[in-house]
Amino acid sequence: MFKVGDRVELTREVWRYPHFAAPAGLAGLVVAVADDGGDLFAVRMDEPLPGAEEWSNEIHWFDGDDPADDLRLIDG
């Protein structure tokens, strides 16, 4: 669905407890899509996200998470 380089926007708040909550409406760039059987999907957010520093300002989705539940494609 999404590929590296896609611009996306959060459609709802995403929690990565206890580190941070990312509010709906934030935009970012897809920087990782596991296509080799791995389980990581990552978006680097455009704006600094307090608490996400140790993840290089990225939100990660892992096996069992569906990024399509939280993201929409923008600027195709």
pLDDT, one tens digit per residue, over 63-73 is: 778 899 999 99
In this prediction the pTM is 0.88
Q: How far apart are CA 34 and CA 5, in angstroms?
A: 14
- Residue 48: the pLDDT is 94
Q: Is the pLDDT of residue 75 over 80?
A: no
Using one digit for the tens of pLDDT, what is the confidence trace for 9-64? 999 999 988 889 999 999 999 999 987 556 689 999 999 999 999 989 999 998 77
